[in-house]
Structure 1
């Protein structure tokens, strides 16, 4: 497996990604420090938005994601992975299914459920071990939900905000689909179609579906 490769999706040779990582290329920071700073940059510079869902291939290309002001969990994970690979830090996409318990009214209206799948996060290889981290929920969104934003220390996993500040259940993982060397678009489409059959029009091209 090559977790440093530039691919169609992880296109880190593009101008957009090179601009994002420019400040880190000549930096004397360690890989751990670079990862932490990149994590915070992707977490907070792109607002979390799970509602604008498109399965077009271009939608999951990092250079296109970089041009947006918001993205869902998979998009933001792809962006972070691409930046990390550009700095020669091994990383890969990890997918699963989650259930959100707070601020889910619009989710339930759109999807018919408060379960989200596939949910994306990042695996990064630091200090001889793989760590899980999720850059999905930006700090301002966390404040709205009264949830502490996920921090990443470069030493421990940081991917689950189980409770909010009041001790109420916020998020839980229901299923783990494992990690992927590249973006598994076909798997993601089939997964969404299996879980949300009511939102797909079989007469349309599923890869162009939008909410």
Structure 2
């Protein structure tokens, strides 16, 4: 368990930028690990608007201290930020990767790759009250309102990984197709391999590790 509270290359929580956000959340009347985790989840969910159309293949870009300087974030970006903040508080947390089908808000992905499957999708596992719970801080409040989807809340006790339907309850929003497990670092080569397997156009476009995948320029 201790390994999931330690600093790593990507979860570089001793950096002053991460320490700043930790202190900001700590001041929000959090008296327990659960309360802190909930506040941290909400803060990360809503303060980095979800943007899935830019994906860095540069390892250094995946350090939490770099990701917090961005104005928006991919689901994995936001999970990494949240993990680093939680580890400052000595709350065990780790990165999970999955394949999901997203029926809303993936217009460019469908246009460029001909698929509404998102790979890899990032979620977080947090150890609270002697058990691991899953959460997905990807979709900020403003985006959910725009898409007519309920905001994904997290209570620190139950898994909170997707909005299955929109607010009408009739239109499918998101479903998990495959879980690739959890990681204590950002497995960028593996993530890139998954993308190549699911999106052949990445290979034909000459995109490689060390570059930036920007769908708007494909």
What does residue range 21-100 of structure 1 map to in structure 2 within 5 Å?
A: 21-24=22-25, 29-100=31-102
Cα distance in structure 1, aligned partners of 2:104 and 2:14 = 39
Cα distance in structure 2, aligned partners of 1:137 and 1:24 = 19
Aligned to 2:212: 209
Asked if 1:119 corresponds to 2:121, the answer is: yes
Aligned to 1:157: 159
Aligned to 2:192: 189
Q: What is the deviation of 1:166?
A: 1.2
Quickly say closer, same or farther: Cα 1:110–1:30, change in 2 above 3 A: same
Q: What is the deviation of 1:170?
A: 0.3
Q: TM-score, normalised by structure 2?
A: 0.92
User: Which secondary structure does the structure 2 equivalent of 1:47 belong to?
Assistant: coil
| Count of residue pairs brought into register by the alignment | 211
Aligned to 1:12: 13
Q: Which residues of structure 1 form unaligned runs of 5+?
A: none
Q: What is the deviation of 1:200?
A: 3.1
Cα distance in structure 1, aligned partners of 2:25 and 2:45 = 17
The more displaced of 101-110 and 195-204 is 195-204
User: Which secondary structure does the structure 1 equivalent of 2:144 belong to?
Assistant: helix
Cα distance in structure 2, aligned partners of 1:20 and 1:83 = 7
Cα distance in structure 1, aligned partners of 2:10 and 2:141 = 26
The more displaced of 24-33 and 2-11 is 24-33
8 A contact 1:72–1:136 mirrored in 2: yes
8 A contact 1:46–1:70 mirrored in 2: yes
Q: What is the deviation of 1:86?
A: 1.0
8 A contact 1:200–1:206 mirrored in 2: no
Aligned to 1:171: 174
User: Which secondary structure does the structure 1 equivalent of 2:4 belong to?
Assistant: coil
8 A contact 1:189–1:207 mirrored in 2: no
Q: Which residues of structure 2 form unaligned runs of 5+?
A: none
The more displaced of 2-11 and 102-111 is 102-111
Q: TM-score, normalised by structure 1?
A: 0.94
Give the root-mean-square deviation of aligned CA atoms: 1.6
Quickly say closer, same or farther: Cα 1:13–1:210, change in 2 above 3 A: same
User: Which secondary structure does the structure 2 equivalent of 1:17 belong to?
Assistant: helix
